[in-house]
Amino acid sequence: MRPRSRATLLLAAFLALALLLPLGGCAPRSAPEDTAGDGGEDTVLLGFSQLGRESAWRMGNSRDIQEAAERAGVQLMYDNAQQEQENQIKAIRSFIAYQVDVIAFAPIVEQGWDTVLTEARDAGIPVLLTDRFIVTEDPSLYVGYVGADFLAEGRKAGAFLVEKADREGLEDLKIVELSGTLSSTPMQQRSSGFREMIAGDARFEILETVSGDFLRSKGKECMIALLERHERIDVLFSHNDSMTLGAIEAIEEAGLRPGEDIIIITVDGEQAAIDLLQEGKINCVVECTPMLGDIIMDLTKKLAAGEEIPRVTHPEEDVFCEFDADLMDIPPRGY
Ligand code: GYE
């Protein structure tokens, strides 16, 4: 049996005290309901492997998961893999050895998980994918996925560009794409969704796609190289805000005006990107929320209780762009 968390003990003490103290009425009081939902049970132990610290999105996601675990009274074993798949595999193995109730992880890439996930399944520990997908021939290696719909995000980015071209009568737009980590789900699906929306439309041409690995520093480096290689760039589609922030530095250092000389479309919605959207330096921000913690804790508790969970859970996500009437009223993003 695992030790109860402090929150559970405090709640139990509070309930015991509440039962002993009369609240003023004359009728005998019945026992209060267990509103926390975890009274009397063992604390649920969740092993979570985060992939790294590459972006503000990721930092926000890590913080949100840790805070949500506390709120939910879930005991969290947290490991950060510093951008290495090998470290994630090690962390998952240690969660298995520790016999956690549930394992969740954000897979850095899609391939290469079968062996370790088979070990988890053999140990009877349910595995929840968060944030990114894996590719496997054995779908029983994970019980569900919680995270964004990346294909939809790519489509929203493409739809914005089509709308911009329609509204302003733009033609012959030369596009460069800064992609995320190769072989990661958001990189592949954001690309596909975007291409789907502009396919067959002669107004658009993708000149080149380069990977900036979701990093601000690489976003800048790549943009410098792209500006050197291409005489004219009209549109930048960047797979995350961190790379976009780096690219904007490069664009400004080259004497160009982001948002005007180059249309900028980005994904995530971190505060710094929203600020630049409001300043006119970014034209469209497709939201991808890192706030997955509460959903993860909810699903974790269900799995620990042996309940079924949906195979796929997507959070609700928005798009913010220069055409929005309420552009200046976007609430603080928290990441
Ligand atoms: O867009 C990016 C990152 O997997 C959705 O990873 C995530 C992406 C996010 O670091 O900023």
Per-residue pLDDT at 41: 56
Report CA-CA distances (Å) from 316 to 58, 122, 147, 149, 292: 18, 34, 10, 9, 11
Residue for token digits 């509103």? 35
Probe residue for ligand 1, chosen from 133, 183, 240, 242 as the CB with the greatest number of ligand atoms within 8 Å:
240
Is pLDDT at 68 greater than 70 in this prediction?
Answer: yes
Residue pair 237/177 in contact (Cβ under 8 Å)? The answer is yes
Q: Which of 268, 270, 285 to mutate to test the pocket of ligand 1 (most atoms within 8 A of CB)?
A: 268
* Cα 290 to Cα 312: distance, rounded to the nearest angstrom: 16
Please state, rounded to an integer, the average pLDDT across all residues of the chain.
90
Tokens 């969970």 belong to which residue? 309
Residue 240 C-alpha to ligand 1 middle, in angstroms?
7
pLDDT at 18 > cutoff 70: no
Looking at the chain, the whole-number percentage of residues with pLDDT higher than 70 is: 88
Instruction: Tell how far the Cα of 285 is from the centroid of ligand 1, in angstroms.
Output: 14
Pairing mode, strands 284-287 and 319-321: antiparallel
Task: Dump the DSSP string for 51-78.
Answer: ----SHHHHHHHHHHHHHHHHHT-EEEE
Please say if the pLDDT value at position 250 is more than 50. yes
155 lines ligand 1 (CB under 6 A): no
- State the number of CA atoms in the 13 A half-sphere of 48 facing the CB: 26
Residue 54, ligand 1, Cβ within 6 A:
yes
Atom of ligand 1 nearest to the CA of 147: 5
Best mutation site among 288, 291, 317 for ligand 1 pocket (most ligand atoms within 8 Å of CB): 288
**pLDDT of 210 over the 80 cut:** yes
**Where residue 42 falls among pLDDT bands split at 50, 70, 90?**
confident
* Cβ of 131 below 6 Å from ligand 1: yes
Distance, C-alpha 155 to centroid of its chain: 17
Length of the chain equals 335
Q: Is 200 left (phi over 0), alpha (psi -120 to 50) or beta?
A: left
Phi-psi region of 139 (alpha: psi -120 to 50; beta: other; left: phi over 0): alpha
Choose the residue to mutate in 178, 214, 218, 267 for probing ligand 1, maximizing ligand atoms within 8 Å of C-beta.
Answer: 214
Tell me how far the alpha carbon of residue 305 lies from the centroid of ligand 1, in angstroms. 30
If you compute the radius of gyration of the chain from its CA atoms, what whole number of angstroms results? Answer: 23
Q: Tell me the C-alpha distance between 292 and 262, whole Å.
A: 33
Tell me the C-alpha distance between 283 and 165, whole Å. Answer: 12
Residue 13 pLDDT > 80 = no
Which atom of ligand 1 is the closest one to the Cα of 131? 4
Q: For 17-35, give the secondary structure using H, E and C.
A: HHHHCCCCCCCCCCCCCCC
Best CA proximity match to 264, nearest among 250, 119, 42, 107: 250
266 C-alpha vs ligand 1 centroid, how far in Å? 11
pLDDT by residue (tens digit) across 322-332?
Answer: 999 999 999 99
